[in-house]
């Protein structure tokens, strides 16, 4: 994972999944767009995102890492 901070990102790939407890989630492959970590690729699992994997691919996003825990917001 990358250090705590706020990062501009781009969704390269998205794949739906279901956790063992039945919770739907989305595996997102992201690339960082700027700064020291520009070009780094990482994968995060997100819950509660609107849209299908097709809707999410190619979308800009904001990745926030706080206390080592990532959260993702898909930007319009």
Domain range spanning residue 36? 5-74
Q: What are phi and psi of 44, to 5 degrees?
A: -130, 155
The count of domains in the chain is 1
| 14 Cβ contact partners less than 8 Å away, ≥ 6 residues apart | 26, 27, 28, 29, 53, 54, 56, 57
73 — pLDDT class (breaks 50, 70, 90): very high
Q: Classify residue 19 as exposed, middle or buried by CB count within 10 Å of its CB (0-12, 13-18, 19+).
A: exposed
CATH number at residue 35: 2.40.50
Here the tokens at position 33 are: 């767009």
76 — pLDDT class (breaks 50, 70, 90): confident
List, for residues 14-69, the tens digit of each pLDDT value: 999 998 899 999 999 999 999 999 999 999 999 999 999 999 999 999 999 999 99
For residue 49, the model assigns a pLDDT of 92
């Amino acid at each position: 994972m990358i250090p705590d901070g706020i990062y501009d990102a781009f969704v390269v790939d998205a794949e739906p999944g279901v956790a063992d407890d039945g919770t739907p989630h989305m595996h997102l492959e992201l690339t960082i767009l700027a700064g020291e970590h520009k070009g780094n690729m990482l994968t995060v699992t997100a819950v509660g995102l609107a849209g299908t994997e097709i809707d999410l691919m190619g979308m800009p996003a904001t990745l926030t890492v706080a206390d080592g825990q990532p959260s993702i917001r898909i930007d319009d």
